[in-house]
Structure 1
Amino acid sequence: MADIVSADVRSRMMSGIRGRNTKPELLLRKGLHRLGFRFRLHAPELPGKPDIVFPRYNAVLLAHGCFWHGHDCHLFKLPSTRQEFWQMKIERNRLVDARTMSALADLGWRVGVVWECALKGRTRLPFDDVLRTCADWLCNEAAGLEIAGE
């Protein structure tokens, strides 16, 4: 199926998508701040510049978009045009994610991932449950956390 917009319009649309301050990330930040958690954002000295850094808890939270990180859920669908390009891009993103999480763990950081599908779409979880799960994880010593939609 051909794209419904011109290449210039599609290019402009795609260039407007940013990796920081995404809606899922902002939701998590606001909710966790409301619960009393204090954090840093995009710490440049850490591998991958994690979205939300909790130095007090030695933990980081990553708000992953299901499309860009290739999550196996209803929000991810490989585009029908330029499939080889998109397949390589998503695979590279997954590889970078794995390296980043490994590097953070090697430095002693606990890594949590909240997938976009946990916050929106037909499989989303109640937002208070997501926040409570994040808060519980921050306060205990569990190494990792992954929250995805049902």
Structure 2
Amino acid sequence: MIEAMATRYNPSTKSLDLSRFYACSLFTDNQLFVPLNRPAVLLAALNIVAQHTKHDLYGLSLENNHIYLGEGLIWIRRLFPELKVLDLAGNRFSDLKELRCLSGYTIEVLNLSRNPVCDTEDKERYKRDVQQFFPMLTKLVSVLCIILYHLYAKY
């Protein structure tokens, strides 16, 4: 897991791209399955990252990992208190309550596009509800578009 993460970490931007982590060739070539949608696996991965970054991470992408439970996400808040950009696009969050464990966190950019939770008629209420969880939020991505995580990772 350490080797796979090393290729996905950008030290100049303090960002880590764990998108489609289960499909990493280092795992598939060795017939290993490392699903970040299992809280224990996500926690192990986040602990490795925290150890190697000394808890100093600015951006994290967990895009397309089939994550549907918020229970493993609490460790993001505990391990990376300075995190500003969080990409959860393309997962399986169907209710904002799954993100409650991150409530009050200092996330400024959040990508929830391609999650069932975004398929709501009342977009204004949805935005208000997300803003309540993340009061520091300046960018919310809820529709299919360019992933802001990658744009911010350049700065």
Q: TM-score range by the shorter chain?
A: under 0.3
The structure that has the greater radius of gyration is 1
TM-score relative to the length of structure 2: 0.26
TM-score relative to the length of structure 1: 0.27
